[in-house]
Structure 1
Amino acid sequence: MNFYKLLSNNCVRSLTKSINNKPIINPKFITSNTFIKRSYFTKSPNNLYSNNYDNYETINKQQQHQHQHQQLEFPEQRNNNSNNKKEEITAESFESKPLIVELDSKNFSEVIKSKVPIILNVYVNHGTVSPALTEALKAYAQEYPGCFLLANLDVDKNLEIANALKVEQLPTLFTLNKGQVLQQFVGLPDHETLDKLVNGLLKLSGGLIGNKSIEQLQTIAELFIKSNEIEKAIEIYENLLSNDTTQLLRTLLGFIQCYTNLNEPDQVEKYLSIIKEKFPNELDHKIIQSSKRILQLKKQVSQTVDSLYKTHNLTLEQIEDKLNNDPTNLDLKYDLSLLYYQIGEYEKSINQLLEILKINKKFTPKNDDQSNTDSAKNLIVKIFESLDSQDPLVIKSRKQLNNIWFS
């Protein structure tokens, strides 16, 4: 039962009375789990934020606590069936926009998984101190866009989360990395403390190259790979290779992904040889294994495509036009699937094969070299194996294949 309901009316009135129109304690802050104390500060000529003792408010001395390897606990997410679509993160948006998010029960667990370090700002959107600290933190986030994530938690709207975090005074800051609480600050940190806090998070991101952290650059490069902007990703990895050794393996794996997508096995081998020398225990890494499968399949596809079109001399666009005029021609669909795969259009390649299997589950194309030709089913399975098993495209397409095969 809520502790607030157990209080007498007189007690409630005494706890919630106002001084200068500011409540000492908001009644909804009184719960069976945690009693959160409000702190108010006022501006003075000598000290920008000084305690207002005239209002008889007690402010705890600012405290700083180290919490090594403390795991955050938080309420279960609600409204999992929400129709709100997430805004897709692109390399450009990640590079230019500060990472600032308002926390609630719907996004808390997802935000805490952030790859970049986090400042968790537990605040109220009134009074003087909390809004001032929030604005100062936003300024840091804008100065180092993408280097750390500023997660603001409004206690008035998210009391249960604040209780789970055992917040007893506002404002309270937590610094986190990979879901682990590193530090907790209670009250208003001075500028020197805030500088140290932010610089500490930047070091966790590997330091800075220009005004961007190593972690930010790595993430931007990975987003470029995801959007198939390979040359931009390579440019970032070359910058990282020249200026950073803290995440060398990640950079080398990035190069392997890039040159695999460009179908340049010699370049892949170049960076693989460095990994063999410096990180021999990482040769079974999923990116390396995926690269080998992709290059092997691309070689097979290239040989098949060359064999097919030496005699027919058809371009991708010509095959697409022919298929538009003859949409049930399964041989054309198969050929188009090979060409799409060859240029890295994996989803289009898979979709062509799925359409074939809907019509004929046992389809194998007709050509002069049957020994080097896979059935549509075998080819789509090889494509799945060449990609990351956790890739959303692979997961979705496997389900579609199962539905077709067992229908």
Structure 2
Amino acid sequence: MSPAEKQAVEDFRRDVVEPSMTQLVIIDFWAEWCGPCKALGPTLEKVAAAYADKGVLLAKIDTDKNQFIAAQFQIKSIPTVYAMFQGQLVADLTSARTESQLRTILDQLLKQLPIQSAEADAAAEIEPLIAMGEEVLASGDATRALSIFDQLIAMAPDNPAVLSGHIRALVAAGQTDAAQAAIDALPADIKDAGIDRAKAALALAQSAPPVEDFSGLAAEVAANPDDHDRRFALANAQMAAGDRDGAADNLLHIVAADREWNEGAARQQLLKLFEVVGLVDPWVAAQRRRLSAILFG
């Protein structure tokens, strides 16, 4: 191997193989005289730039200047485009000539390979902060929770978990107009369980506005246990005050007495409460068992 060939191998190892240990490297074999190469190049550069945060890197190999490297890969025609990960070729991208085709293949590869990316690193960094915000929100400290999620929104404005927590913190803080504005600003095609939970929280807050003093309601219900209208109003007041146990008790009481009352309003409101608390929450599981015992027991 000549000194020039040794240098070419060293350069290839530094610029392609080593980065491929943690990233997905697109290798574009091209030449100045190649018209199709010049046509494909801008598309490769655009897609690689768009996927940079996902851990994708573009390496361009001029076959005229790197004949030894091209020979090692048995390049017989150009453009030839490969994808390399951890020093191994994982895909032949040569047939993908459009942005859409390239994106489709890259999306598939990124799902299958443990790529190190800035996007993944950022997500891992904010996960503990999201957990802290959720813990504070669950404790009832809406003001502090909102402060945490305000900071998270600045860090990760498109993260569904952050968006969900921020909207629910706004609702808990009584800022329903701001929560509605945040929901209205969401992409129309967003599909996420956390976002659905946030929407349910706002819907519940709008249907159960805060009541400063509901002791009178409680007294009326105690005096007339069969007055479902007043009991339903009391349950709503309890929900607004954060007393989910009391609200669940009263809603379940109505369902047990008359499950079809007001077109099943008590059961529907209870299901909204479940969604807001979180369908995997142990409290919800316990209340679901109580509901099932009433409906099917």
TM-score by length of 2: 0.49
TM-score (normalizing by structure 1): 0.37
Greater share of helix: 2
